[in-house]
Structure 1
Amino acid sequence: MKLYVKFDINTLCRKVLDQQLKEHGLRYRLLSFGEVELYESLNQDQHRIFQNKLADYGIEVIENQKIALVQKIKAAIVQLVFSDEIIPVKASVYLSEKLDHSYGYLSNLFSEIACTSIENFIILQKIEYTKELIVRGKQNLTEIARKLNYSSVAHLSSQFKNTTGLTPSQFQKIMSKRRRLESAANHKIS
C-alpha cells in the first residue's frame, strides 16, 4: 500500500527548531522563516552540539546573511509554486513584497550564491510539482498548466521535456506502468 502525503516544510522546520531549542534549554523567539533570535549567547561547544543536532534533521545553521536570504528566496518560491491557491501576481512581485528587497537585488544575489537564476529554480519547482500532480492523477494537463500559471499546455509540456527529457504524457505512461508493476508485485506477495 502506498500513502501519499503533503507536508509544509515551513511548519515542519519550525516544530523541529522549537523542539531542539527547548531541549537545549535555550530562551529564544522564532522570527520569520529561517530566523531564530536567541536571548543568550552560546559558547563554542554549545553551538557545535546544537548545530550537529539540527544537522540530524537536515537543518543547517547559516552564518552568512546572504546565504540565509537565498534560503528564504527558495522557501518563498516553494511556497508560491506548491500553494493550493493560485497567486495572481508575477513571481518577481511576490518575492519582492515577501522579502522586502528589490527583485533585481534578489535575482543577482540568488544567481551569485545558488549558481542558477531564480527563473530556472522556479521552473524546476514547477516541474517537480507537475510530476507530483501527474502521479496523483486527479488533474489533467490543462488543469495543471492553469494551476501553475502557464500560458498553455504546450508551454508546460515544452519546459517539462526540456527539464526531464520526457513529455508529460511519456512521464504519465511510465508512472502508470510502474504502478501496475508494483500492484502486480504486491498481489504476488499476498
Structure 2
Amino acid sequence: MKIYLKYDINVIFKKTLEEQLDKIGINYTINGLGEVEFMEAISVDKITQLASLLSIYGIKIINDHKSEVIQRIKDAITEMVINSSIDNSCKVSTYLAEKLGYSYTYLSSLFSEGTYTSIENFVILKRIDRAKTLILEDKLTLTEISYNLGYSSVAHLSYQFKKTTGLTPTVFQKIIKQRKETAKAQ
C-alpha cells in the first residue's frame, strides 16, 4: 500500500525553527522565510547549540553578508511567487530593490556570482514549481494559474513550463490524474 503526501515546505521550516528555538529558550520573532530576530543578546554557546539543532534538518545559520543577501533574494522571490496578494504586475527588479533596500544591479550581480544563475532564471523555476503545485491541487484552471503567477497568457506559461519540465501543463495534468487513478485502483 502507498500513500501520497502533500506538504508545504515553508510551514515545515517555520515549525521546525520555532520548535528548536523554543527548546533552547530563546526569545525571538520570525520576520520572514529565513530571518529570525532575537529579542535579547544571545551567547555564542546558544548560537552554536541552535546551529547544531538546526543542522539535523539541513538548516544552516548564514554568517557572511553575501550569502545572507542571496538567501534574502531567494526568500523574497519565493514570497512573491507564493503570495497572491502581491501585485503580479510589479516588476521583479522593482520588488526586490524596494524589499531588500539595494539596487537591482547590485542584487543581480551578487546573485549571479553566488548561485551561477540569474535572478530571472530563479524566478522562472519558482513560478514553474508553483504552477506544478497549483496543478496538483486541481482547483484552478490554467488561465487562473497563469494569471496568479503573473504570466501574460496561458501560452507564455505553457512555453516556460515545457522549456523547464519537458512537458506541457496539460500533459503534466494528465500524468498526475493517471497516477491518482492507478493508485486508487490498487
Does TM, scored on the shorter chain, surpass 0.5? yes
1:98 & 1:129 partners in 2: Cα distance? 21
Compare CA radii of gyration and give the structure with the larger one.
Answer: 1
Shift of 1:145: 1.0
How big is each residue's C-alpha offset from its partner over 1:3-54, in whole Å with a ceiling of 9 and x where there is no partner?
A: 64546x2x654554444334324465655642444604314xx544321201
Q: Structure 1 141/22 Cα, relative in aligned 2: closer, same or farther at 3 Å?
A: closer
Q: Structure 1 26/135 Cα, relative in aligned 2: closer, same or farther at 3 Å?
A: closer
Partner residue of 2:123?
122
Q: Which residue type is aligned with residue 62 of structure 1?
A: I
How big is each residue's C-alpha offset from its partner over 1:145-189, in whole Å with a ceiling of 9 and x where there is no partner?
A: 11111111111111001100011111111011011001111xxxx
1:68 & 1:141 partners in 2: Cα distance? 35
**Bigger relative contact order, structure 1 or 2, given CA contacts below 8 A and separation 6+?**
2
Q: Which residue type is aligned with residue 60 of structure 2?
A: E
Shift of 1:2: 5.4
Cα RMSD (Å): 2.3
1:93 & 1:68 partners in 2: Cα distance? 20
TM-score, normalization: structure 1?
A: 0.83
Q: Structure 1 23/86 Cα, relative in aligned 2: closer, same or farther at 3 Å?
A: closer
Partner residue of 2:142?
141
Partner residue of 2:61?
61
How big is each residue's C-alpha offset from its partner over 1:98-120, in whole Å with a ceiling of 9 and x where there is no partner?
A: 11111111111111111111100
Partner residue of 1:23?
23
TM-score, normalization: structure 2?
A: 0.85
